[in-house]
Structure 1
Amino acid sequence: MLAHLSISNFAVVKQLDVDFEQGLTAITGETGAGKSIAIDALSLCLGERADANAVRRGATKAEIISHFSLRGNAPAMAFLEEHELTNDEDDSCFIRRVISKEGRSKAFINGVPVSLQQLKLLGQNLLAIHGQNTHLQLLKEDHQRQLIDHYGNLATELSKTTEAFKVWRDKKNQLIELRAKAQQRDDRIQLLTYQVQELDEFAIEQDEFEALEIEHKRLSNGQSLLEQAQTSFYTLYESDEGNALSVVQSSIERLSELESHDSNLTPIVLMLNDAAIHIEEAASELRDYCEALEIDPLRLQQVEARYSKAMELARKHNVIPEELHLYHRDLRDEFDALNKQDELLGDLETGVEQALQDYYQVSSKLSSKRTNTAAKFAAEIEEQIRQMNMPHARVVINVEYDEVKKPTASGLDTITFKVATNPGQPEDKLEKVVSGGELSRIGLAIQVIASDSTSAPTMIFDEVDTGISGPTASIVGSLLRRLGGQSQVMCVTHLPQVAAQAHNQLFVTKLTDGETTETHMLALTEQDRIDELARLLAGDKITDSAVANARELRKSAESN
């Protein structure tokens, strides 16, 4: 519950500190005194956006601090623990909102900076504000559907329907995208058919081009290679006029004879021996090379043709010849993938149809539960508004399920609230039947009924009794008082019949010195309440009969 609210330099408030109690608290005051100022401030604490106009004239910033007791509020405590925002001292929660005169805003939960989204998520578990425009929401089909789902606790069924809708929508979008690209895919397949066939016929293998390049060089220079290799072999080993091997061996013989005279020649002799061995080995390799080297004009022609074709295809496809094999593989993969898309298209069409049937199944179950809920909800609304000077009212909530409708995340139901206020009058839509006062009564009845299942422990009603007067106002006050026996309820009202039913009452007054204006909120004693009720009954001139009537209202409220 809301325990305390502190407001500094906010709108017409310079400084305001208010303690709140359990039960129903009525907030009254003269028109324009700022009775809704606390609600506006609390809205900011719950994540509403603010601007520089919220800051009191002449001040540099506005500050709002709200103190909530979370005793018994498990959802709020769970949120704070999940986000590491708990108050280590007790189960209190302090929300602080600061707005600068430039319009910049900061928010804190238990002293920790937070985002507006976090404030909104926490606020759902702290309090619910029902404003003057709430009744007008009743005329909207979306709001009517939300009321049914909330009253019937249909969150699970609605979640399943929403998830099924998303699955169907995503599959359908994939199908639409695939179909849109069908012509582009066909054109690509036609091009790839020729390209892949051409590369398939050539069938170059990995690293083949490099091998072709090496073989082409060898074959095209075969005669020169053979001649030079034979000449080198002759010079190294076979020349009778003096080959390299005989020259080295001759030097070894001469120097070996001189080793005994100078040992410094020994390393040289050893090197020449090694050289002789290497010359013999090289000559042997050259002999084998010459014998193995083939001068094959036909093979040269074949290699040259394949090498040239590889170069031609590489230029044609704008790749280097060494990557022609990889390019061929990539084209083949793309070609196979595009051909498989026809199969994928068929599978996706089946998947879309199955997803739609799954959606129909869960949305139908949701609709069935909505129908049952609507009947109970309508009966309860009817019972409530008949107590508010609408004795002949009849309420019908139609839930029409239509598979022909375009699927939505909230199902296929068209939900219509219909009312008849007079005997013999057929039920019709709210906007065609009820007056402003009747709409207020119906709206208030719905809010009271819906509040039984709300998760917020604190409810605020901002002049929701507009358009209501006389005996009806007393009934409305009794409803709010009954609700205040279960939860913390605050009601900004101008009706003495409602204010008299409150367990607590706050009076809002506006003071001005001609230059500045300040709003104050005061907790009223029992005698103060009598005086305020008399003012609400009689206006500016309070009479003895008004005071007596005020006492009677309080006595009647306390006896209920």
Structure 2
Amino acid sequence: MLSQLTIRNFAVVKSLDIEFHNGMTAITGETGAGKSIALDALSLCLGSRADANWVRPDQEKAEITAVFALEDASPAHQWLAENEFDADDDCVLRRVIQRDGRSKAWINGTPVPVSQQKSLAPLLVNIHGQHEHQLLLKEEHQLTLLDSYARHKHLLDKVQQDYKNWASVEKQYQSYQQQKEELEAQRQLLEYQVNELNEFALADGEFEELEQKHKRLSNSKVLLEAGVFALNALYEGEHNNASSLVQSASQRLAEAEEMDTSLSPINQLLQQAKVHIEEAALELRQYQDDLELDPGELQIIEDRLSAAIHLAKKHQIPGSELSQQHKKLIDELNNLEQAGEQAEKLDEDRQQARKIYRESALKLSTSREQAAAELSQKISSSMQELNMPHGRFVIQVEHDANARATRQGTDEVEFLVTTNPGQPIQALNKVASGGELSRISLAIQVMTATQKTVPTMMFDEVDVGVSGPTASIVGSMLQALGKSSQVICVTHLPQVAAKAHQQLQVSKSTDGAETETAVIALSKEQRVIELARLLGGDKVTDMAKANARELLAS
């Protein structure tokens, strides 16, 4: 619950320290005194937008601190622990607004983005504004109120997650469908190219081998002549071939060795040279035998080499890379074919995701229908208590299994009402007058508030348009609500204020130069005087005091 609110230099407030207690607290005061100032200040600690105009004139900054007492098992306490804040018995929210409009925020002494305060706020306080009945006419707000009463957050979360999953798969599928024609054309081209290369079947390294064979065969005559010349020069020539010359030289040195043995190593080299010459001659003979010109083989090689070069040009690559290009295209074709299989899987996935979403939406719809029936009955009863004896309220939930999917499901929710006998039940905005709408709004707020787990509820003049005996009933409703939650109510009705367990009075004073707002907790006797003022105006009579005491006693 909210235990303390400290306000410094905020609007017309110079300095305020307000203590709050359990039960129902009424805030009263003269018109224009600033009864809603505490709610405005607290809203800033709960993450509402800052405005430089909130800073008191001639001051550099406004500062608001709100202290909440927490139970260990409360959602707010768990939120603090999960977000690694000190989670003691208290939660302290602080907000500072600078003169230039900039603001800073803290949670339990730790600087935080305002968005984090805003995230924590729904776990601490629920504020019902005096214009709540205007929101009540909006369909999205009606749906929010019903879901809040139903307390089926787990079903809402499931629908939202299933919607997200379906949307993700659907997006992938639609993306593939948009590219389908382009991918199919690409697949057909790859298939043609791969078949062409499959048919040609160029092996790894074959292109280089073809080039080498072609070069040798196309120059075989020159190579043959070179071989004949070398063979004659080395061994088979009639005069002075290398083999006979080396042989002659070796014989002369062998004779000379008898006179000088140091020639022996040289002669050994000559003998080795003769062996190498003979081996070379033998290899040349074999080379000549193998080099016989075969025009048929040359033609075959030329044809295949030409075909390889032609294919390489088509793919704009060197011939030596044609084999690798073949493998690359096979991989690309396989990937495209796998993409087609994935598209089929995507179609199956989207159908399954759609089914799961529709099932979740139906469960959510069933829960809404059950909550709608229960809440309709409660609001109808409250309307009758609030001086609308023939009032009947119906929350209509229409579910369409084929309706457009949304994060909130596929239901259309509408609030219907009738307030007079014989009047057909119709949409809320077509039936209720301003006063009736205020009372209906109040009944809805009180009924939905009973389902909330938020420890503190604030009502800002939600009793506008209510008077007489109805006002007393409103006060009783809020008092009953204060037995299970902390209720803080800004009101102008003495019948409502009298039902409060505590009462705060807001007053405004001025010295002609400055205006200041004060808030004080009233004693029992002070409450009598304040209630008498609300009953009879500025002049507090004994009769008004007696009426005030009677209200308090009741």
Rate the CA distance shift 1:387–1:328 in 2: closer, same or farther, 3 A: same
1:165–1:407 contact (8 Å) kept in structure 2 = yes
Rate the CA distance shift 1:201–1:465 in 2: closer, same or farther, 3 A: same
Residue 124 of structure 1 aligns to a residue in which SS? Answer: helix
The 5 Å alignment of 1:173-188 reads: 173-188=171-186
Look up the equivalent residue of 1:241 and give its one-letter code: N
Rate the CA distance shift 1:197–1:392 in 2: closer, same or farther, 3 A: same
Please state if 1:28 is matched with 2:28: yes
Q: Distance in 2 between matches of 1:303 and 1:221?
A: 14
Residue 391 of structure 1 aligns to a residue in which SS? Answer: coil
- Residue deviations 1:289-345 (CA, integer Å, cap 9, x gap): 666566544444333333333333333233344443343344444445555666655
Partner of 1:119: 117
Q: Distance in 1 between matches of 2:187 and 2:324?
A: 19
1:545 to 531, 540, 543: 543
2:136–2:142 contact (8 Å) kept in structure 1 = yes
Look up the equivalent residue of 1:134 and give its one-letter code: E
Look up the equivalent residue of 2:83 and give its one-letter code: H
Rate the CA distance shift 1:46–1:319 in 2: closer, same or farther, 3 A: farther
Rate the CA distance shift 1:189–1:96 in 2: closer, same or farther, 3 A: same
Q: Distance in 1 between matches of 2:431 and 2:405?
A: 30
Q: Distance in 1 between matches of 2:273 and 2:37?
A: 109
Q: Distance in 1 between matches of 2:140 and 2:470?
A: 29
2:372–2:395 contact (8 Å) kept in structure 1 = yes
Partner of 1:363: 361
Partner of 1:45: 45
User: CA shift at 1:11, angstroms?
Assistant: 2.8
Please state if 1:13 is matched with 2:38: no
Partner of 1:165: 163
TM-score (norm 2): 0.86
Q: Distance in 2 between matches of 1:266 and 1:54?
A: 119
Please state if 1:522 is matched with 2:516: no
User: CA shift at 1:399, angstroms?
Assistant: 1.9
1:222–1:293 contact (8 Å) kept in structure 2 = yes
User: CA shift at 1:511, angstroms?
Assistant: 3.0
Look up the equivalent residue of 2:77 and give its one-letter code: M
1:245–1:280 contact (8 Å) kept in structure 2 = no
2:72–2:89 contact (8 Å) kept in structure 1 = no
Partner of 1:83: 83
- Residue deviations 1:168-225 (CA, integer Å, cap 9, x gap): 4344444433333343344434444543433333333444434444444444445545
Look up the equivalent residue of 1:62 and give its one-letter code: A
Rate the CA distance shift 1:411–1:248 in 2: closer, same or farther, 3 A: farther
1:252–1:272 contact (8 Å) kept in structure 2 = no
Look up the equivalent residue of 1:149 and give its one-letter code: D
Partner of 2:501: 503
Q: Distance in 2 between matches of 1:552 and 1:268?
A: 146
Q: Distance in 1 between matches of 2:339 and 2:157?
A: 33
- Residue deviations 1:353-385 (CA, integer Å, cap 9, x gap): 444344333322332232222111111111222
| Aligned residues: CA RMSD | 3.7
1:23–1:487 contact (8 Å) kept in structure 2 = yes
Look up the equivalent residue of 1:4 and give its one-letter code: Q
Rate the CA distance shift 1:321–1:423 in 2: closer, same or farther, 3 A: same
Look up the equivalent residue of 2:519 and give its one-letter code: M
The 5 Å alignment of 1:264-275 reads: none
Rate the CA distance shift 1:530–1:292 in 2: closer, same or farther, 3 A: farther
Partner of 2:71: 71
Aligned residues: 553
Q: Distance in 1 between matches of 2:372 and 2:224?
A: 102
Q: Distance in 1 between matches of 2:512 and 2:272?
A: 120
1:452 to 437, 444, 450: 450
Partner of 1:391: 389
The 5 Å alignment of 1:385-464 reads: 385-464=383-462
The 5 Å alignment of 1:100-249 reads: 100-225=98-223, 227-228=225-226, 241=240, 243=242
Q: Distance in 2 between matches of 1:160 and 1:502?
A: 40
2:362–2:401 contact (8 Å) kept in structure 1 = no
Look up the equivalent residue of 2:439 and give its one-letter code: R
Partner of 2:4: 4
Rate the CA distance shift 1:521–1:283 in 2: closer, same or farther, 3 A: farther
Please state if 1:486 is matched with 2:500: no
Rate the CA distance shift 1:194–1:538 in 2: closer, same or farther, 3 A: same
Q: Distance in 2 between matches of 1:316 and 1:168?
A: 44
Look up the equivalent residue of 2:113 and give its one-letter code: S
1:252–1:273 contact (8 Å) kept in structure 2 = no
Rate the CA distance shift 1:316–1:425 in 2: closer, same or farther, 3 A: same
- Residue deviations 1:140-175 (CA, integer Å, cap 9, x gap): 222222222222222233333333333443444444
Rate the CA distance shift 1:402–1:254 in 2: closer, same or farther, 3 A: same
Look up the equivalent residue of 1:166 and give its one-letter code: K
Residue 181 of structure 1 aligns to a residue in which SS? Answer: helix
Rate the CA distance shift 1:119–1:4 in 2: closer, same or farther, 3 A: same
